[in-house]
Amino acid sequence: MTRTASFSPDLRRFVILFEPEAACRERLAARGVPEEVASEIACYLAQATDLAALIEPIRRAFAAIGVEVVAYPLDAHPVWLPLFTDPERQHTLLWCLTDGFAYYRGSFVSAVAGLLDVPQFGSPPAAQHLCQDKFRCFALAKALGIDTPPTVLVENGVPLSPPEALPEGAPLFVKPNTLGAKLGIGNDSRAADLAEALELTRRIHARYGDRALVQSYIPGRDVRVSFMDLGGPRAPLGIYAVDTGSTRGFPTLADSLRMTTMREAGTKEGLSLRVEDLRRDPALAPSIAKLEAAARRLADAAGLRDYFSFDFRLDEDGRPWFLELEVCPAVTIYDFLTYLRDAHGTDLPGALVRAAPSAFARRARGG
């Protein structure tokens, strides 16, 4: 199959930068973070570890269209930074595989690329910085008319936004504000009342040093909305229910650690993972329409581009509730790989060899 119609011949180099788990652990340990906690936080970077097995297939795919692929860890900046200042930088596309500006450093690299006028694959730095903060994302979604659970921002037991936003007598859910991959979420993350929820925020602050969100608990199904633009007409969204078989009603950090090692649905170490394409159920058509409208509206407002994902809860009445978004979703694991197979009929190297040149052409046009 020819790809020549979908990429710009001016793209000559695709630079992949990633933050290794080990480097993150060592940096956090040097800041005094306990080893166990540093290891938990670093697990968010598992797709950088997964990438090692994919570099050669990606390199071969790009070589077929005349584009060089180079991949370096972030700490190798004496090697990769000159690539952003040499004459070839105008023919270079950067893909920083990890985002973040607090516990992780991917958004800093994206900002450097913007400073040096190097085109970037993925959302721009402003969107990456916004999307790292769940509370700000909730505020944006709510302003756009998207349903969000009533939410309060709390720092170490002290509410920073009005607690009156929470309903009385209803269960609450507590999670860190800037950490993903279910970090800080355990079996007891659902609280019976505000006092119990505030105590959980103290636990999160003591362990991770992070603020927390206290929000209404929404019973229902977890839904992942995935997107990658491979060029051509309006790219489709993947809309999947993700079920871990848990009786508690939500996945925990322990579940996430097992899920991130899985490439497809199945059972592993006691975790039963099921991924259901909701588009195949005609009865859910109204819910799918609402999910798609909300995701595209928020992506447009936040300035997301190229690839991203959203998490929603679909309640018992079929009403979608926005939970969070990822500007740098884990493209190496089960949900995104399922989306690439179903929506685009390809694997990750096959998707990137179409998506990256197309993104470069859009950058050249100012998009």
Question: Is there a domain that residue 63 lies in?
Answer: yes
pLDDT (tens digit per residue) in 223-237: 999 999 999 788 899
Rounded Cα distance between 217 and 124, Å, is 32
- Are residues 173 and 114 both part of a single domain? no
Rounded Cα distance between 137 and 179, Å, is 13
Region 165-194 average pLDDT: 91
Of all residues in the chain, the percent with pLDDT exceeding 70 is 90
pLDDT number for residue 327: 94
pLDDT-derived band at 267, boundaries 50, 70, 90: low
Burial of 61 (0-12, 13-18, 19+ CB in 10 A): buried
- Are residues 49 and 172 both part of a single domain? no
pTM: 0.90
- Are residues 142 and 155 both part of a single domain? no
Question: Is there a domain that residue 350 lies in?
Answer: no
Question: Is there a domain that residue 233 lies in?
Answer: yes
* Cβ neighbours, 10 Å, residue 1: 5
The CATH number of whichever domain residue 324 belongs to comes to: 3.30.470.20
- Is the pLDDT at 43 greater than 60, yes or no? yes
- Are residues 95 and 227 both part of a single domain? no
pLDDT (tens digit per residue) in 88-135: 888 999 999 989 888 999 999 999 999 999 999 999 999 999 988 999
- Is the pLDDT at 6 greater than 50, yes or no? no
Could you write out the DSSP letters of every residue in 57-78? HHHHHHHTTT-EEEEEEGGGHH
- Are residues 113 and 196 both part of a single domain? no
Please tell me whether residue 16 adopts helix, strand or coil conformation. strand
* Structural domain harbouring 24: 4-123
Region 35-39 average pLDDT: 95
Region 13-28 average pLDDT: 96
Region 60-71 average pLDDT: 96
Region 341-363 average pLDDT: 95
- Are residues 241 and 197 both part of a single domain? no
Q: Judge contact between 342 and 237, C-beta under 8 A.
A: no
Q: Judge contact between 79 and 85, C-beta under 8 A.
A: no
Region 267-276 average pLDDT: 68
Question: Is there a domain that residue 29 lies in?
Answer: yes
Could you write out the DSSP letters of every residue in 279-335? GG-GGGHHHHHHHHHHHHHHHHHHT--SEEEEEEEE-TTS-EEEEEEESS--TTSHH
- Is the pLDDT at 4 greater than 50, yes or no? no
Question: Is there a domain that residue 300 lies in?
Answer: yes
DSSP element (H, E) containing 15: strand 13-18
- Are residues 323 and 269 both part of a single domain? yes
pLDDT number for residue 367: 73
pLDDT number for residue 181: 72
Rounded Cα distance between 48 and 52, Å, is 7
Question: Is there a domain that residue 290 lies in?
Answer: yes
- Are residues 194 and 224 both part of a single domain? no
Question: Is there a domain that residue 347 lies in?
Answer: no
- Are residues 105 and 175 both part of a single domain? no
What average pLDDT does the structure give for the chain? Answer: 90
Strand partners, 221: 314
pLDDT (tens digit per residue) in 135-154: 999 999 999 999 999 999 99
Please give the tally of structural domains in the chain: 3
Angle made by CA atoms 67, 18, 109, in degrees to the nearest 5: 90
- Is the pLDDT at 1 greater than 60, yes or no? no
Question: Is there a domain that residue 346 lies in?
Answer: no
- Are residues 229 and 275 both part of a single domain? yes
- Are residues 181 and 245 both part of a single domain? no
The Cα diameter of the chain in Å comes to: 63
- Are residues 238 and 138 both part of a single domain? yes
